[in-house]
Chains A and B, each alone.
Chain A
């Protein structure tokens, strides 16, 4: 394209081409520059390696924290099995009525199993456990109610679902009130969400650090190539042409740094595996450590590329503008 000499386009090779071809050549140039900038990184292997390792390790930390949260969640979901609802039967209900309640409850789709503790059984157990022993014999009547213990199916063991089930069971005619022991579950979940929040915050800080590291690295490389940028501007390079290699470098840093982080996480998990299986063995369970799956790897890489792009984009937008050929 020539602005000054309209006739010049015809004599040179840059004749008016179909638009699709122009886009094709534009993409080709960008890809060519991408490969070229990878080659540039290869020319200074130590410096590139150091930047990549810093990025890799910066990304490893949030990735590891994420894996920790994921595993804790996995383990804690096993704890929910303990969720159990106690239904206290109204005092005036006969033994027969209570038995029909138990049978009816057993047919609920939300309920896995039902067990019944009569007031007499409860008193006996209380005597045995509490240590009051004969003192309780002086009571005129049995003050303890009959209790129906309900274990919900796995779907209804989550705090909210269990609460809903409890509300439903409390509407039963025979039931005085019900009690759901979810306090500790709620505490656990609160702790988990605290953990998640802190992982998120730490992760965010580290990601900002990654942007700054890449931005600074690219800034240094721009300063290093000041002369070259001036010459490029003098021979008619557009800003896009000058910016692209630097942005590519940032993207490459992201890609390789992301892969380094992934490898670090895999190595760490491999290292921890035997320790985890030992702990699991003590608890008589076989727990398998959850790693990063393919989708999460893609997210990690995507994130790393995004960060590389933003970091280099900021540096390029800020510093290349300042380099003009006349300020020699």
Chain B
């Protein structure tokens, strides 16, 4: 699904965020991306969603080299990737339905289909009763789940999450992770960046650890690559 080949990223000003990172994420795989803050987790996710371009090396998604993607094609790349943010990034001016429907509206989908899919997505995250609410009236965990519903509403084959449990208590975090597990079981590849090590420890998934931009040896990787 995702393949990094000797990827380095140096920001203007000389900060080296990633250095020669090479790894592969299989289809239908769920993996964690960990490391201290500033280790390059966000940069790695940004390279996948083409918010940043690598300084050297290649990033492939489904065998397609992202370096070959021009700026006009970026939106279409992002439609295949569901992205979940720590601060969930909901639009305060719209209600839950409109927020979740956003990716579908962008694709120009018909009204009838939109309603059906939005309800299905909200049902999955257990917020069907909050369709008409404004995001500001929801709790932190609920807002995060709305963000997840928005990310999965067009059933993307790949899901990226940047500190999805950052602001939540352990119980809620577990709930959110269960959701990701569920999507993964239905065939979506999931990559979760987090520094919540306790969370990772409780679940038997592969974790990629970044340390100052370098990928640490990952014992589980051997038998997967």
Chain A contact residues, CB within 8 Å of chain B: 1-5, 8, 11-14, 25-26, 28-29, 227-228, 230-239, 241, 324-326
Contacts and interface: CB of A to CB of B under 8 A. Distances in A.
Interface residues of B, number: 32
B199 interface: no
A28 B80 CA distance: 23
B89 A237 contact: no
B46 A228 contact: no
Interface of B: 46, 49, 51-52, 61-62, 64, 69, 72-73, 75-80, 83, 89, 91, 93, 102-103, 106-110, 113, 150, 154-155, 157
B155 A12 contact: yes
Given A3-B77, A8-B80, A235-B79, 8 more contacts: A2-B80, A3-B80, A4-B61, A14-B108, A14-B109, A231-B91, A236-B107, A326-B52
A236 B51 contact: no
A232 B80 contact: no
Given A233-B75, A234-B49, A3 B109 contact: no
A3 B71 CA distance: 13
Given A14-B109, A234-B89, A235-B150, A4 B77 contact: yes
Given A8-B157, A325-B51, A326-B51, A13 B79 contact: no
From B46, B52, B72, B106, name the one whose CB has the most chain A CB atoms within 10 angstroms.
B106
B80 A5 contact: yes
B69 A228 contact: no
B81 to A, nearest CB: 8
A11 B102 CA distance: 20
A238 B75 contact: yes
Contacts of B51: 234, 324-326
A71 B61 CA distance: 70
Given A2-B76, A5-B157, A228-B93, A241 B46 contact: no
3 nearest A-B residue pairs (beta carbon) = A236-B79, A236-B78, A326-B51
Contacts of B93: 228
A245 to B, nearest CB: 12
A230 B46 CA distance: 14
21 contacts: A3-B64, A4-B62, A4-B157, A12-B154, A12-B155, A28-B108, A227-B91, A228-B93, A231-B89, A232-B102, A233-B75, A234-B78, A234-B83, A234-B89, A235-B103, A235-B106, A237-B106, A238-B72, A239-B75, A325-B51, A326-B46
Given A3-B73, A4-B77, A232 B83 contact: no
Contacts of B62: 4-5
Contacts of B46: 326
A230 B72 CA distance: 16
B55 to A, nearest CB: 14
Nearest to A238: B75
Nearest to B157: A5
A326 B62 CA distance: 23
Given A2-B76, A4-B62, A228-B93, A236 B103 contact: yes
Contact of A3 (B69, B83, B113): B69
B77 A235 contact: no
A235 B80 contact: no
Given A1-B76, A325-B51, A326-B52, A14 B107 contact: yes
A102 to B, nearest CB: 82
A11 to B, nearest CB: 8
